[in-house]
Structure 1
Amino acid sequence: YNHKHNQLFQYVSRTNVSSSGSKVRALKADHSRKYCLHAKEQQEKKKKVQYLKSEINKSLYFFTVWNFGILCILSTRWSTSLCH
């Protein structure tokens, strides 16, 4: 049984290979194309995320500086008004 099965399998795989060799190549090409597209998309996403992060960092920086400045102004005004 096993021997027959193997022979059948070899025959099927041989005929499949001859007919599906081009299919396999096409599939491989398609897969690599998709993979490349996916990689490009991932890189774009990474760029976007990095850009967003830097923008958030900038705005946070300005926000803290701004708040700190307001606090400084308020505290100096408050202390001067206390003194006078």
Structure 2
Amino acid sequence: MFDPKKLEQVAKQIQESMPQPVKELGVDIEQKVRQVIQAQLGKLDVVNREEFDVQTQVLLRTRQKLTELEKKMAELEEKLTTKSKSED
């Protein structure tokens, strides 16, 4: 769901900011930090990048269709107005 490289980077930054005695606890601390970060990120109401990209494409297609429909509507309104004026 989340980019493992980014999680690794955040975990590394947290570990590097810890005092030396804590750093010496090594792998166990790194694993615990990763678990906590993943648990907290899992609680967030977010979508992953793939879902976001799919929805962006859907939105772009919808916007394109809306633009086309607006153009057709304007053409029909123009024809209706022209027809009304010619009947007067």
TM-score band, normalised by shorter chain: 0.5 to 0.7
Q: How far apart in 1 are the matches of 2:66 and 2:27?
A: 57
1:21 to partner: Cα distance: 3.9
Q: How far apart in 2 are the matches of 1:38 and 1:18?
A: 27
Q: How far apart in 2 are the matches of 1:64 and 1:45?
A: 28
Q: Tell me which structure has the larger Cα radius of gyration.
A: 1
Which structure has more relative contact order (CA 8 Å, sep 6+)? It is 2
User: What TM-score do the two structures reach when normalised by structure 2?
Assistant: 0.54
- For 2:59, the aligned partner's letter is V
Partner of 2:49: 39
The root-mean-square deviation of aligned C-alpha atoms, in Å, is 2.5
> Unmatched 5+ residue regions in structure 2?
1-18
> Unmatched 5+ residue regions in structure 1?
1-8, 79-84
| Count of aligned positions | 63
Percent of aligned pairs with the same residue?
10
User: What TM-score do the two structures reach when normalised by structure 1?
Assistant: 0.56
Structure in which a larger fraction of residues adopt helix? 1
